[in-house]
Amino acid sequence: MKRAIRDPIAVAIIIAGVVLTIGLAVTIRNENRQAATMWLDERAELIEQATKNTVDRTFSDLKAVAAFLASSETMTQERFAHFVEQMDMNPGVIGIGYISIVDGTEIAGFLAEARQDVPTLQLLRFDGLGGMAPDNTSRPIYYPLRYVYGGPFLDVVIAETHIESELDALGFDLATEPLWFPALQGALTQTTPSVSDLLAVGGVFQEQAFGVVQPVVNEIDEIEGVLVAPGLEILLTADLGIAITSKVMWQIDNELPEDEDSDWPSWQRELDLDGSTWRLTVAPTDEALSDLTPKTHWLMIAIGLGLTALLATTALQIRLRRRERTEMNQLHQVAADKDRFLATVSHELRTPLTVVVGLSHELSDRDASFGETERNDLLEMIGEHSEEAASIVEDLLVAARSDIDKLAIHSETVMLAEEVEIALSSSPLESALMIGEPGTAFADPQRVRQILRNLMTNASRYGGPNVEIRFSESAANATVTVADDGEPIAETHRKQIFDPYTSAHENGDRLGSIGLGLFISLKLARLMGGDLHYHHDGTHSLFSLHLPRSPANRL
């Protein structure tokens, strides 16, 4: 895997795969989120509508009861209960009660009249413990419960109290109940049908309760009582089906709760009701949330990362196989180059050494048969070919050094004309035309001769018959150029001519030079603070050696 991390193609595949995988996973997750939000919106709107329907139906029920009270000359508990029972009361409320508003000076007459209808009726107060007790206190206004009817759910409520039946609650003064009386006062202040805020109810249910209030007015438009339909928050949506209630949970409150961290946000909305504003919060159950949030994005990430790893590994293996083939081809090429190099070196050394050995044997075996002039000519030829072999060996020794850039250079002021003459005398060139005025340079004379001899040898092998040695100067450099009118070096080959073991001219399979002359010449020129360049001016191939004129002019 470390190789994959270092391989640029594998890294690119991994990056692209991770980005694509994460992008697809985020897209899938967002689509799931959008689908879940739509699913939740649909159910939340049903709950919202069910809540509003309960309140609206309760208003309609209370208006019908108010009209019945207004149209009846005489009213009894029995007639009130019978009428409400026939209405098919809204299941979202516990019951309906009528609360009279009685002046303190008229409370005795009220009780006497009420007992003709319900003999057991008495004035009751809240005892502070969730129950009721007889009330003998004196107040300016009383709010006793005069008529009452409860649905089936009221039986459950009564079963959790000390009351044996709903009739036992008749006469209870709502003014003594600290939780409900403020809501009643608010409704009386508005003088219109209204809904109370949600009130916390203690006891066994631990639920929130509410009250729908309908004022009842007499012939002179005075409020003489109110109809109250108390209910529990849990009963607001009693008619919802199991398909909804088993999938979502909701809460109705007076304030929106703070958002909690969740995979999916809850649905929240304000319910504007007459006289109050409720806040509805709906969220999916854990079971529904699991169905709504399938882990497909994690599956996509796992699959995507797996495919990415597979592709990266495959690409790496392909590149490794290609690299192995390339390295194998390079090894074959190196082997071929080695064979060519050995053959070339053997050929290059054999020619001068054959001459040296052959002439040496001639002088040794037939010395008496040669005159002095002939003997001197033979010795001169032996010296020339020995120098040629020595030059080849010198180039090989320099190229073989691993620290070629640290060769010792002993620079001094040199006369370029003299160095050219010495190099020309030991080169294969028979003659060269001198052009320009030779100057001086600050360089190592031995290395200058080595460079010039390599350039002249190169010109004699591959150049035309006319070779020129051109001299020029600038303020900083002295330049010696070896020019020949032979074929130019191909454009595609010019960048490689200064590489080691590369011949300046390609000539099929014919053995030529060992390809070290230009490589070594460039290295030596730069070690002396100069440089070596090749170009073709249209008629001549030019190898220009630039050397500094003083230590301060070194490149």
Backbone angles phi, psi at 229, to 5 degrees: -115, 95
Query: Poorest-confidence range of 113-122, 199-208, 328-337?
Result: 199-208
Residue with tokens 């991390």: 5
Q: Cα–Cα distance between 147 and 114 in angstroms, integer? A: 10
Three-class SS state of 268: strand
**Mean pLDDT, residues 167-176 taken together:** 84
Q: How many residues are listed for the chain in this entry?
A: 555
CATH assignment, 407-553? 3.30.565.10
In Å, what is the CA distance from 298 to each residue of 30, 224, 367?
13, 67, 98
**Mean pLDDT, residues 418-430 taken together:** 85
CB 538 within 8 Å of CB 491: no
**Residue ranges per structural domain of the chain:** 24-292, 296-385, 407-553
Q: Say yes or no to pLDDT of 206 above 70.
A: no
Q: Specify the DSSP element, H or E, that contains 116.
A: helix 107-117
**Mean pLDDT, residues 117-134 taken together:** 84
CATH assignment, 24-292? 3.30.450.350
**What is the predicted pLDDT for the residue at 346?**
66
In Å, what is the CA distance from 34 to each residue of 5, 26, 265, 541?
37, 12, 11, 76
- pLDDT tier for residue 542 given thresholds of 50, 70 and 90: very high
Q: Say yes or no to pLDDT of 508 above 50.
A: no
Residue with more model confidence, 135 or 266: 135
Q: Say yes or no to pLDDT of 34 above 60.
A: yes
**What is the predicted pLDDT for the residue at 295?**
61
Backbone angles phi, psi at 464, to 5 degrees: -80, -175
Q: Cα–Cα distance between 445 and 422 in angstroms, integer? A: 10
pLDDT tens-place string over residues 236-288: 776 776 667 777 777 788 765 555 555 556 788 888 888 788 888 888 877 77
CATH assignment, 296-385? 1.10.287
Q: Say yes or no to pLDDT of 452 above 70.
A: yes
**What is the predicted pLDDT for the residue at 413?**
93
CB 213 within 8 Å of CB 184: yes
Taking the alpha carbons at both ends of the chain, their separation in whole angstroms is 46
In Å, what is the CA distance from 8 to each residue of 15, 21, 257, 306, 310?
10, 19, 52, 19, 16
The C-alpha angle with vertex 515 and arms to 395 and 357, in degrees rounded to 5, equals: 60
CB 548 within 8 Å of CB 554: yes
Q: pTM for the complete prediction?
A: 0.52
Proportion of the chain above pLDDT 70, given as a percent: 80
Tally of CA atoms within 13 A in the half-sphere of 267 that contains its CB: 23
Residue with more model confidence, 338 or 58: 58
Which amino acid makes up residue 38? M
**What is the predicted pLDDT for the residue at 402?**
47
Q: Say yes or no to pLDDT of 377 above 90.
A: no
**What is the predicted pLDDT for the residue at 299?**
67
The pLDDT mean for the chain works out to: 79
Q: Specify the DSSP element, H or E, that contains 289.
A: helix 286-292
CA dihedral 71, 72, 73, 76 (to 10 degrees): -160
**What is the predicted pLDDT for the residue at 161?**
53
pLDDT tens-place string over residues 277-331: 888 888 887 777 777 666 665 666 777 777 777 777 787 778 778 878 888 887 7
- pLDDT tier for residue 201 given thresholds of 50, 70 and 90: low
Which amino acid makes up residue 261? D
Of 161, 149, 183, 146, the closest CA to residue 62 belongs to: 149
Q: Cα–Cα distance between 476 and 473 in angstroms, integer? A: 8
In Å, what is the CA distance from 157 to each residue of 69, 81, 161, 180, 455?
26, 18, 7, 17, 118
Burial label, 394 (beta-carbon count in 10 A; 0-12, 13-18, 19+): middle
pLDDT tens-place string over residues 74-110: 899 999 989 988 887 777 788 899 999 999 899 999 9
Cross-sheet strand order for the sheet of 477-484: 433-435, 467-473, 477-484, 541-548, 531-536
Q: Cα–Cα distance between 230 and 213 in angstroms, integer? A: 9
The contacts found for 43-49 with CB under 8 angstroms, 24 or more apart, are: 43/244, 43/247, 43/248, 43/282, 44/248, 44/250, 44/267, 44/269, 44/280, 44/282, 46/240, 46/244, 47/237, 47/240, 47/244, 47/248, 47/250, 47/280, 47/282, 48/269, 48/271, 48/280
Q: Specify the DSSP element, H or E, that contains 424.
A: helix 416-425
Residue with tokens 């403020």: 182
Per DSSP (E only), the strands in 204-266 are: 208-217, 223-232, 248-253
**What is the predicted pLDDT for the residue at 511?**
45
Q: Say yes or no to pLDDT of 66 above 70.
A: yes
Burial label, 191 (beta-carbon count in 10 A; 0-12, 13-18, 19+): exposed
Residue with tokens 């100067």: 473
